Amino acid sequence: MRRTRTVLDVSMLPDHVYGPRDVMWWGTLGFMVIEGFTLVLCAVVYVYIGQNFRDWPPQGTPLPALGVPTVQVALMLVSVPALVWTSRAAHAEDAGRVRIGLTLATLFGAVFVALRAVELLVSLGVTWHRNAYGSVQWLVIGAHATLLLIEFVEVAGMAAIFWLGRAERKHFSDAADLAFYWYFMVGAWIPLYALCFLGPRWL
Amino acid sequence: MLAAATLLALVACGHAVEQSALHPAGPQARKVSDLWWFALIVSTVVYVVTIGALLWAAWRARRREHAGAPLPPDSERRMTRAVAAGVGATVALLLVFFVYDLSVGRTLSPPPGGDPLTINVIGHQWWWEVQYPDTTPHGRFTTANEIHVPVGRPVVLLLTSTDVIHSIWVPNLAGKKDLIPGYTQSVWFQADTAGVYRGQCAEFCGHQHAKMALVVVAEPPAEFQRWLAQSRQPALPPTDSVTRRGQEVFLTGPCVMCHAIDGTPAGSNVGPNLTHLASRRTLGAGTLPNTRGHLAGWIVDPQRVKPGVWMPPNQLAPRDLEALLTYLQSLK
Amino acid sequence: MTHAREVVALPATDHEDDELAALRRSWRPRHRGLWGWLTAVDHKSIATRYVATAFLWFLLGGLNAALMRLQLARPENGLVGPDRYNQLFTVHGTAMMFLFAVPVMTAVGLYLVPLMIGTRDVAFPRLNAFGYWVFLIGGVFLFVSFYLNTGPDTGWFAYVPLSGPEYAPGKRVDVWAQLVTFTEIAGLVAAVEIIVTVFKQRAPGMSLNRIPLYVWAILVVSFMIVFAMPAVAMASTMMLAMDRLVATHFFNQAEGGDPLLWQHLFWFFGHPEVYIMFIPGLGFVSSIVETFTGRRVFGYPVMVLSLFITGFVGFGLWVHHMFATPIPQLGRSFFTAASVLIAIPTGTQIFCWIATIWAGRPRFTTAMLFAIGFIVVFVIGGVTGVMIASVPFDLQVHDTFFIVAHFHYVILGGVVFPLFGAFYLWFPKVTGRMLDETLGKWHFWLFFVGVNVTFFPMHILGLNGMPRRVYTYLPEMGWGDLNLLATVGAGVIAASVAVFLVNVVRSAWRGALAGPDPWGGPTLEWATASPPPPWNFRHIPVVESGSPLWSAEAELPVATGLRTDRREFLVTTVLDAVPDNRHEHPTETIWPFVMALAIGVTFIGAVFTPWAYVVGFAFATVAFAGWAWPRGTKPEERVHPGLAREAR
């Protein structure tokens, strides 16, 4: 082995950091890119299949109802400030505020998942096996539903960690990353909402 | 170089069956064949130069080291120049190839002028349905696995499929085109010399993809017209007791469930149309020569010849089989 | 041997001994035996088994190829029937693409990247272990299904409608669709690992212009994986499998679906896949050429740029697999142009290597022979690749043995030759022992001859009308002799692989000891012991040039100060690799394995029932809880509500 000569001492560097300084943030970003690109491809499939039809939705298939999906979008937008607040609390390392914020997020998440089930089963008015229109509607909305489900499980778990007094300092950074993912989840849905629920009316 | 020489020697060999992109029999295949020879020669030169440079560089470096000589002082500049020259030559050659390719594509892709003959080809697992359309109902007819075309006249094939994706490829005449369910595509070619050109399915389509062949028979216009006129006729009614019995076997047995013979009640198009079976060259989509023995073997146990084929084995009494064979062989 | 490092035995001071003992205490695996194996997180342990597993699939896939060659040796041969043959070639292609060529490359990356950039592990070691387990489950699933006569049989690109519910009843295609899911999950995980590791964990001073070319290559590939693999994962898991399982209509023409949509999605992944396979090979060649010419590869910026251009343009070629389908003329010209263009960056790299060899002091080791063999073989695949960019020519040879020849030249030349070379270069680092050079030369020459004898005749067969994926052909076609020759060549390849296996086993057991730096290499992996200790580097090296071991004087500059009483690695900034923070590395855990089992239950179950998704989600939630739940082993890190940072 070669002889070494010390030119740097890194012992004074912090071991808790936030955002792009932290490797976890980059991992979250990586999976957001993968999921985001998958959603883009889903939308491309939607448009591609749509071109095979003269009418969209095809004759005999009802238009999707707008009520619940629009409430869902509104709630998602309302949830964003709550998560911003939670993220700030995490940066301030305020465990009391973080656990309130995560509880709010868990409630939002549960409502999103429930409303998503209503959107698929009621608002859409078509099953996946009726025709290719039904199949792509379920593809796009269902693909985004997996994001909702996973984020719901994660914020619920993180809330439990904070409520049960198991949290360690690194969980503040994790909580901030959950908020980061939340913005992506909401941001991705808005164009998809327009595509799946407004598209059939306006296209 | 050795490889290229071997290649040249090998492609020059003749073959019993005409199924080669290197023996063009029409303008389509010829243009592509010319493009191929051009590309082969250029590629061989490029390859020899590149590998030569590699071996030379290794040899030089080694000799320099043995001699203990230093690198030439301007070596960085020489390397930059050499790499730049290599890249420049690559770009130039690729550009030439691209332009040549586009010009070939441009001459080949538009539909032919003149008065092309249009034929519908429908892919099935694992045979080809061939329809000759006509403005009058009695001018239309359907055959299978054999396409007759007149020499010197462009032919347009309209392609589709009823099941999975197939691809028609008769390399002596033209490149391939896919037969896709729900789509209709066309491909055109022209045979300049009379002959029998074999082709086969090029898109993997299941069990018997390997034995889904067809022949294109290019013949002088007069001969083609004779074939056309004959093909338009329904099958002749049986003339003697044996063929009568054979037709009975056909019409009362399982055959009629899938096959049509025009002029009889048999009208199913699940399998190939057999109206003029005896005039065709092959059985089982280009798999067997059309002889009485092969026909018998095919009818009794097609699974032995083409395992997985949709046609079931047929247990027939020997006399019934003989009668059926005689009848089918009378369908000229 | 100017660059050979002398091994300096240092008089160990007490302080250093303490430090080493502390590192050993913190980093030693927590468990032994089977449990230790199931809970391992060390990137070297994971990557080594990853490579070995991928190599096992390579051998099994190669066995399929051998059977195919035997069947095709004579016309109307009766060794296997079409039903078996169709499984043979589908499983061969599927295994080689999804279970060998791509994973083996990312696996080698997972081993080498932390060592070459001077860090202690990948960014997410548990996620890394999870990726391996998913990959293993997927491979076992494919081969067990195949040996139970339920192997997929519609080709490795599984075109609909042939692979759809109507024409492929039974479970064979479902096995294929879910195998793809497994491998894509594993591939995406590995890609994220590599990207984050390269971005954030490079040794201090390793700015962008000092990153080794191999690391650039695997980084570019990781980005390609991120954008290519979602397409096929979506198409197979969410569309094809769903068409088959719950009667969606994505590809069903009768209900408005479209069979061509499958081809677009598949090739949007499938063409970049080719570059995903061979770009790491280009990286290997750069490392080999650099090490064995004793000179930095000429034209570093151009080399890096070429990798990026290849990666980018690789996404613009997919339609050249679809020239025989209805595609507008203008579109075809675009894809021809892109397909021709992609030859330029690869050609540029080849010229740069040749220049490097010319200016260097080449040593013709086995690794170097494989690098040269790569150029000799790969360029043939490259020029035929340019030929088939031409639409009219492609329409003649598409789906024929010409294409089979072309892509085997590309893949064997571009992937397997560099990979074997990499084995000879880095085997001493991994095992501490040298591979035998005499056996190595036998291995090389047999492989070189075998590959050419097998695949060169296939060009001619294709031009002479032989389509690919045929289980037999008629005697009168005149294809018998060349096929027999190809089969003989396959035998030679098999012999060379056998020599290689013997060499690996013998050398691992009693090969010459390697020492830390047997070749006098330029990059950081040679600055540590062979095999490297679990912490990789006692002190994190500080990088001052692109070939740090060559430019450093007698002493290697290092950074100290990482804690030794726990596992820690150094995080640096993305562009200039300035030290920024310290990150704690997790210890051994079983939960990645449990999570992989949950994924396995989900997707294998989904072959039979859609309820598997419900059960699997519940299972995965449990596994996730086990994974993320704090063990409570660090009371000093515990936080309490009401104590904000300001208050502390």
Q: What is the DSSP string of B174-219?
A: ---EEE-BT--EEEEE--SS-EEEEEE--S--STTGGG-EEEEEEE
Contacts of B16 in chain C (CB under 8 A): 476-478
Q: How far is CA C473 from the centre of its chain?
A: 35
pLDDT tens, residue by residue, A44-72 = 999 999 998 999 999 999 999 999 999 99
SS3 state of residue C501? helix
What is the SS3 assignment for chain A?
A: CCEEEEEEECCCCCCCCCHHHCHHHHHHHHHHHHHHHHHHHHHHHHHHHHCCCCCCCCCCCCCCCCHHHHHHHHHHHHHHHHHHHHHHHHHCCCHHHHHHHHHHHHHHHHHHHHHHHHHHHHHCCCCCCCCHHHHHHHHHHHHHHHHHHHHHHHHHHHHHHHHCCCCECHHHHHHHHHHHHHHHHHHHHHHHHHHHHHHHHHC
Task: Name the residue facing A6 among C257, C558, C644 (closest C-beta).
Answer: C558
Tokens of C503: 């060499």
Asked if the Cβ–Cβ distance from A52 to C580 is below 8 Å, we say no
- Tokens standing for residue B28: 């389509």
> For residue C52, is pLDDT > 80?
yes
The answer to whether residue C2 scores a pLDDT higher than 90 is no
- Cα separation of C399 and B203, whole Å? 7
Q: Which two tokens stand for residue B222?
A: 């007069």
Q: Which residues of C touch B209 (CB under 8 A)?
A: 82, 467, 469-470
The CA angle C87-C88-C89, to the nearest 5 degrees, is 95
C-alpha to C-alpha distance for B191 and B209, rounded to whole angstroms: 26
Please enumerate in sequence order all residues whose Cβ is within 8 A of that of C163, keeping only pairs 6 or more positions apart, or say none.
C154, C173, C176, C240
Residues 4-23 of B with CB under 8 A from C: 6-7, 10-11, 13, 15-17, 19-22
Q: Do A26 and C123 touch (CB under 8 A)?
A: yes
Chains that touch B (3 or more CB pairs under 8 A): C
Judging by beta carbons within 10 Å of its beta carbon (0-12, 13-18, 19+), is residue A70 exposed, middle or buried? middle
Interface of C with B in 551-610 (CB under 8 A): none
pLDDT tens per residue across span C115-128: 999 999 999 999 99
pLDDT over 70 (residue C10): no
Q: Is C576 on the interface with A (CB under 8 A)?
A: no
Number of H helices, E strands in chain C: 22, 4
- 8 Å CB contact of A95 and C642: yes
List the single residue in C257, C584, C642 with the smallest CB-CB distance to A49: C257
Closest by Cβ to C259, choosing from B181, B205, B210: B181
Residues C304, C322: Cα–Cα separation, whole Å: 30
Contacts of B287 in chain C (CB under 8 A): 474
**Cβ–Cβ gap B198/C465 under 8 Å:** yes
The answer, yes or no, to whether residue C645 has pLDDT greater than 60, is: no
CA distance C101 to chain B (A): 23
- Taking CA atoms, what residue in B is nearest to C380? B47
Nearest neighbour of C246 by CB, restricted to A16, A128, A149: A128
- The residue assigned the tokens 């080709």 is C155
Query: Pick from B137, B140, B179, B135: which is nearest to B157 by CA?
Result: B179
Distance from CA of C452 to the nearest CA of A (A): 39
A92, amino acid identity: A
Residue B81, min C-alpha distance to chain C (Å): 10
Instruction: Find the range with the poorest average confidence among A191-195, C136-140, C388-392, C416-420.
Output: C388-392
Q: Which of residues 148-167 of A touch C (CB under 8 A)?
A: 149, 153-154, 157, 161-162, 165-167
DSSP 8-class letter at C385: H
Measured between CB atoms, does C309 come within 8 Å of chain B? no
Chains that touch C (3 or more CB pairs under 8 A): A, B
B23 in helix, strand or coil? coil
pLDDT of residue C6: 36
Inter-chain CB pairs, B–C, below 8 Å? 250
- Note whether B35 contacts C392, CB cutoff 8 Å: yes
What's the gap in Å between the CA of C575 and the closest CA on chain B? 28
Bridge partner list, B120: B131, B158
Nearest to A15 by CA among C22, C580, C535: C580
Out of B20, B61, B183, closest to residue C326 by CB: B183
- C580 chain-A contacts, CB cut-off 8 A: 13, 17, 21
- Look at C83 and B308 and tell me if their CB atoms are within 8 Å: yes
Rounded to the nearest angstrom, the minimum Cα separation between C633 and chain A is: 10
Contact B102 C465 (CB under 8 A): no
User: B213-219 and B177-179 as β-strands: parallel, antiparallel, unpaired?
Assistant: unpaired
CA nearest A153 in C: which residue?
A: C621
Q: Is the pTM of this model over 0.90?
A: yes
Closest CB from C82, C326, C352 relative to B83 = C352
The phi, psi pair for B269, rounded to 5°, reads -115, 30
Q: Tally A–C CB contacts below 8 A.
A: 238
pLDDT at C370 over 80: yes
Nearest to C261 among A45, A154, A161 (CB): A45
Contact C226 A38 (CB under 8 A): no
In order of B19, B239, C398, C470, the CA distances from C324 in angstroms are 19, 48, 8, 19
CA–CA distance, A18 with A172 (Å, rounded to integer)? 9
Chain C residues whose CB is inside 8 A of the A52 CB are: 256-258
Report the complex ipTM: 0.95
Q: What is the mean pLDDT of residues A113-119?
A: 97
Q: pLDDT tens string for chain B (332 positions)?
A: 445 545 555 554 445 688 999 999 999 999 999 999 999 999 999 999 999 999 999 999 999 888 888 888 888 999 999 999 999 999 999 999 999 999 998 888 777 777 899 999 999 999 999 999 999 988 999 999 999 999 999 999 999 999 999 999 999 999 999 999 999 999 999 999 999 999 999 999 999 999 999 999 999 999 999 999 999 999 989 989 999 999 999 999 999 999 999 999 999 999 999 999 999 999 999 999 999 999 999 999 999 999 999 999 999 999 999 999 999 999 98
Choose, out of C13, C15, C234, C523, the residue to mutate when testing the contact with A (most A CBs < 10 Å). Answer: C234
Chain B residues lying within 8 Å of C391, measured CB to CB: 101, 105
Among C195, C256, C562, whose Cβ lies nearest the Cβ of A52? C256
Residue B2's pLDDT is: 47
Lowest mean pLDDT among A20-24, A152-156, C6-10, C191-195: C6-10
Q: Assess C392–B contact: CB distance below 8 Å, yes or no.
A: yes
Subunit contact A17:C257, Cβ cutoff 8 A = no
Q: Name the strands in the sheet holding C540-541, side by side, starting at the edge strand that comes first in the sequence.
A: A3-9, C555-560, C540-541
Measure A15 CA to nearest chain C CA, in Å.
5
Asked if the Cβ–Cβ distance from A5 to C191 is below 8 Å, we say: no
* Calpha distance A155→A103 (Å, rounded): 8
Interchain proximity C395–B17, CB inside 8 Å: no
Q: How are beta strands A3-9 and C555-560 bridged, if at all?
A: parallel
Contacts of C636 in chain A (CB under 8 A): none
On average, the pLDDT of chain C sits at: 93
Please report, rounded to a whole number, the percentage of residues in chain C having pLDDT higher than 90.
89
With CB atoms and an 8 Å threshold, state whether A23 touches C265. no
Per-residue pLDDT for C648 more than 50?
A: no
CA distance A117 to A139: 14
- Cα angle C420, C421, C427 (rounded to 5 degrees) comes to 80
Considering only CB atoms, C256 lies closest to which of A3, A49, A162, namely: A49
Q: Tell me the average pLDDT across C408-431.
A: 97
A5 with C127: Cβ contact below 8 A: no
Cα first-last separation, chain B: 53
Among C71, C289, C349, C463, pick the best mutation site for testing chain B contact (most B Cβ within 10 A).
C463
CB contact under 8 A, C167 and B11: no
**Separation of alpha carbons C256 and C180, rounded Å:** 26
Q: What is the pLDDT of residue C13?
A: 57
Shortest CB distance from B50 goes to which of C326, C379, C467?
C379
